[in-house]
A and B are shown apart, each in its own frame.
Chain A
Amino acid sequence: MLYSDKVLEHFSNPHNVGEIPDANGVGEVGNAKCGDIMKMYLKIQDGVITDAKFKTFGCGAAIATSSMATDMIKGSTIEDALKLSNQAVVDALDGLPASKIHCSVLAEQAVKAALADYYQRQGVDPKPILGDLPDGDACHMH
């Protein structure tokens, strides 16, 4: 398994690990059966993500993509965070092995799930904004 130095760096010293006690957007994707769970905590004030943290059960790529994705959305507006694609996370990590691309998809979904939770807490239906979020019970090959 050939990981880039960037992936290994984010695995060794992951950024933003932990929880945010007063988070106002929390999302969890993946499941234990598949071997990947990502839980993302967001603190959003005035439409800006002021803090983002994660907890991940998964492989090196799952941890590295969680670390990178939280880095990328921290300080950005909700609108920009909604645009975060898995490919952008892959690029920022100098690439991922083909069998690990699904980890970046999971990271993108974790951000979206946390934003959906935020909208729900605001009394806004997230569906028109985010569309259908994936079914967490099946192991998908992305």
Chain B
Amino acid sequence: MNEMLNKKRFVYADNAATTQISEEVFQTMLPWLRENGYGNPSSIYELGRRAGFAIEDARKKVADALGAQPNEIYFTGCGSESDNWAIKGVAHKLAAKGKKHIITSAFEHHAVLHTCAALEKEGFEVTYLPVGPLGLLDPKQVADAIRPDTALVTIMYANNEIGTIQPIPEIGAICRERGVLFHTDAVQAVGNVPINVKEQQIDLLSLSGHKLHAPKGVGALYIKKGIIFPNLIDGGEQERGRRAGTENVASIIALGRAIELACADIPQKIAKVTPMRNRIIDALLELPMSRLNGDREKRLMGNANLSFVGAEGEALLLGLDMMGVCASSGSACTTGSLDPSHVLLSLGLCHEVAHGSLRLTISDWTTEEDVDYIIQAVKTVVERTRNMSPLWEDLQTGKKTVPFSR
């Protein structure tokens, strides 16, 4: 450990949590904070009009990245707001027609799960589809769960913890055929997976700026033309009267540029990042009693989520932080509750294995040298953490055994 600390390096391996604003995006947004760019887009004079036009330009860029029309893109404050608006909006609209059933998966982001829970309190019924040991849904599960009173299917495009990519086009086709609206939380997928809302038959899609090298505090919701539902935020006429509040002009413009850049070269990024990601997975699976969480192939290019039994996740994160590596975990200590991540438990992992999880999310900014350092640092920290773990000792002596799954 001390040897490692001497050649300490800073490696950001938590891109699923957030990303740094890129230089290009930063320069694009700067003029819109001051001087000739600070106008209110609702104002009639030139200073305001200019901001208004720039927002429409950003809207077109978001639409182009998704294969949508600009008038189908609504800017919001974040991915969570987009999820809340889409799900609550559709639910409340269709409840009037007696449709009070929602289908989702057990391992959605809390922005979806807690929104569904809030609707359950209002009398809606929610089906939580199990995801199976590899973290993948079978489209047939969705088909089987649809009922005459189903208002909405909401399934994430890619999971935020284990990075598994769901069969969205297949689910989209099923929903379209059965006449059920389909929302996807694509916060983790945009810029990582080619998305076309028309081809993939998506009715509503949530995205967030700060996962794409745009700033925090801006997101968007794609709403297919013709779908009308109540507002989440009432007030002025911004966003064609559907989402009030003076626009976050600079951030919206940043999001436009960021999504344009992020979606321009997805195949090239996949070709570059996937081998680095695999190198991390393969090297860390050399550690005894380790496992990869989630399917290996149908997985976001930058996501490596592994469990190291006998080591606790938060201790791993603090140890990695001491070495300059930023990562994330699904242990109870990091979820702020007594239970480890609902995502890992949904795969059927037992608590002991979920507590020892580590999520590393690299990007196309990550270098081969960073990968070398990540591997070395994780190995060092896992060993150190296990060396002081009575659980590891008991596993070594055979006094205790831990099944990987329940």
Asked whether, in the complex, the Cβ of A62 is within 8 Å of the Cβ of B312, the reply is yes
Bound-state CA distance A26–B32 (Å) is 65
| Given contact pairs A11-B318, A32-B352, A55 touches B388 in the complex (Cβ within 8 A) | yes
Chain A contacts of B388 at CB under 8 A?
A: 14, 17, 54-56, 63
A58-B312, A99-B336, A139-B338 known; A37 and B390 CB under 8 Å? yes
B372 within 8 A of A: no
Interface: A84 (CB within 8 A): no
**Interfacial chain A residues near B311, Cβ < 8 Å:** 57
**8 Å CB contact of A32 from B313, B333, B387, B402:** B402
Specify the chain A residue showing the minimal Cβ separation from B389: A57
Q: A33 touches which one: B322, B351, B389 (CB < 8 A)?
A: B351
Contact with A along B380-400 (1 / 0, CB 8 A): 000000011111110000001
Q: How far is the CA of A33 from the CA of B391 in the complex (A)?
A: 11
Is the pair B400, A63 in contact by a Cβ cutoff of 8 Å?
A: no
- In contact, B322 and A35 (Cβ under 8 angstroms): no
B312 closest partner in A (C-beta): A58
Most buried by B among A12, A39, A58, A61: A58
Tell yes or no: A124 within 8 A of B by CB. no
A2 at the interface (CB under 8 A from B): no
A29 to chain B minimum Cβ distance, whole angstroms, is: 10
Contacts of A11 in B (CB 8 A): 315, 318
Contact of B318 among A32, A56, A60, A99 (CB under 8 A): A60
B389 and A55 contact, CB distance less than 8 A: yes
Which residues on the A side are within 8 Å of B389 (C-beta)?
37, 55-57
A/B pair count, beta carbons within 8 Å: 73
Asked if A35 and B390 sit within 8 Å, CB to CB, the answer is no
Nearest CB on A from B217, distance (A): 22
B191 part of interface (Cβ distance < 8 Å): no
Does residue B328 face the partner (Cβ distance < 8 Å to A)? no
- For residue B332, CB closer than 8 A to chain A, the reply is yes
Is B294 in contact with chain A by the CB < 8 A criterion? Answer: no
Residue of A nearest to B392 (CB): A57
Cβ contact within 8 Å between B340 and A32: no
Which of chain B's residues 314-338 have a Cβ closer than 8 Å to chain A?
A: 314-315, 318, 322, 331-334, 336, 338
B79 within 8 A of A: no
Residue of A14, A28, A33 touching B390 (CB-CB under 8 A): A28
Contact A55 B340 (CB under 8 A): no
Which residues 355-406 of B sit at the A interface, judged by CB distance below 8 A? 355, 387-393, 400, 402
Is B135 interfacial (CB-CB < 8 Å)?
A: no
Find chain A residues with CB under 8 A from B391 CB: 32, 37, 57
Chain A residues within 8 Å of B350, by CB: 33
Interface centre among B340, B351, B388, B402 (most CB of A within 10 A): B388
Cβ-based interface call for A133 (8 A) = no
Q: Is A59 an interface residue (CB 8 A)?
A: yes
- CA separation between A141 and B334, bound complex, in Å? 15
Query: Can you name 28 A-B pairs with beta carbons within 8 Å?
Result: A1-B314, A12-B322, A32-B352, A32-B400, A33-B350, A34-B332, A34-B338, A34-B351, A35-B312, A35-B340, A35-B351, A36-B312, A37-B389, A37-B390, A38-B390, A55-B389, A57-B390, A57-B391, A59-B312, A59-B314, A59-B318, A59-B333, A60-B315, A60-B318, A62-B315, A63-B315, A99-B336, A100-B333
Given A54-B388, A57-B310, A57-B391, 17 more A-B residue pairs with CB atoms under 8 Å apart are A1-B334, A17-B387, A28-B390, A32-B352, A33-B350, A35-B332, A35-B333, A37-B391, A55-B390, A57-B392, A58-B312, A58-B333, A60-B315, A60-B333, A63-B315, A63-B388, A100-B333
By a beta-carbon cutoff of 8 Å, the part of chain B in contact with chain A is 310-315, 318, 322, 331-334, 336, 338, 340, 350-352, 355, 387-393, 400, 402
Residues of A within 8 A of B (CB): 1, 8, 11-12, 14, 17, 28, 32-39, 54-63, 99-100, 139, 141
